[in-house]
Chains A and B, each alone.
Chain A
């Protein structure tokens, strides 16, 4: 098994793990971590495509690699916005739950 196929399988596993965590975890920051796992899995899959596209004297296809570099930076920017929103939610509401019924529940622990 070549390293690129192995890395591709790792990418696939990361997407699966991230998807599981994104749905299972109620905490928004955990959801953000899981979403970043999906993202890096997709980048890895794209990395395999770059490695397989070796041609014209390069050991890799530079175009997908450049796209991945752009993607990492944009993913960071999106994560920063998400973190800012989560912290603002925590500051305003005093809790970080995404449960819409937490506000209206009669005996909610933190309902204001």
Chain B
């Protein structure tokens, strides 16, 4: 046999070890940093589960963008002088919660071992969707996302817009319409600028490639969009570009472009193809690519806005 079983066991131990450290670390920042490593390790597990699409998403969104969000938050909280001393719970309480958590984990683990046989599967329906409405798509995940579960995917984009609105609304009233706080308060230093100038064009190209091949190979609007968003954030961290004003018209148009185009195509399907969110056979693939292109735009716009946070008052800076 190969070395793969050892790899699996080692990976599993490593992930659980990092997870224990996330919970047990005394320092808030150490915990946050290990969460980023944890997201990247998780991507390996997804590859081992034959889920390269999920692995790409986990690495880009779960590890990368969430990591930037949490590290930025950790730094902003750490800069705060007067953090109230936290009352640590007592040992007895910890013990009881430990037993409870272990019971929950054991029950879930038992379920994992005793899963029903033969396993239920929606794969035949997904295959039918890939062969029918999503004709010409070689990647079954994209077929499921855009064709079989198209309405859910459209609503998910609306969730992203609602989250951006919620983040913006948290800012103070006087700051409305201003720009979010810059990613770095200090002046940019040369290595960061150099990295951004080198990395951002290459990363943007890779992001567009991942989006483009997403129709037939692992990839798609989510993964490509997350990468493009990350490159925009790298440029903002190097202060090559500043975060846009939240009342900028182009930003708002970019945010709603994805769901809007998706909804228009879905409604048009009612008249052209006979059902809501049905695509006319024959030109399904170009239509799906157009929808994905606009979703890419919306994802690229919304993820950095979620990380950047609410707009701030000018004087606060």
Contact = CB atoms under 8 A, between A and B. Distances in A.
Interface string B41-76: 010011011110110011001100110011001101
Majority DSSP secondary structure for residues of A touching B: helix
B186 to A, nearest CB: 19
B83 A70 contact: no
Interface stretch (B101-109, B236-244, B256-264): B101-109
B159 interface: yes
Q: Is the interface of B mostly helix, strand, loop or mixed?
A: helix
B206 interface: no
Q: Which of B111, B126, B127, B160 has the most CB of A within 10 A?
A: B126
B315 interface: no
A64 B106 CA distance: 23
Nearest to B161: A77
Contacts of A12: 105-106, 108-109, 111-112
A interface bracket (residues with beta carbon within 8 Å of B): 35 or more
B247 interface: no
Interface string A1-31: 0011111111111111111110111110110
User: Contact residue range for chain B?
Assistant: 35 or more
A8 to B, nearest CB: 3
Contact of A81 (B15, B119, B167): B167
A102 to B, nearest CB: 6
Interface of B: 4-5, 8-9, 12, 15-16, 19-20, 22-23, 28, 31-32, 35, 38-39, 42, 45-46, 48-51, 53-54, 57-58, 61-62, 65-66, 69-70, 73-74, 76-77, 80, 82-89, 94, 97-98, 100-102, 104-106, 108-109, 111-113, 115, 119-127, 130, 140-141, 143-145, 148-149, 152-153, 156, 159-160, 162-163, 166-167, 170-171, 222, 299, 303, 306-307, 309-310
Interface of A: 3-21, 23-27, 29-30, 32-34, 36-37, 40, 43-45, 47-70, 72-81, 83-88, 90, 94-97, 99, 102, 108-110
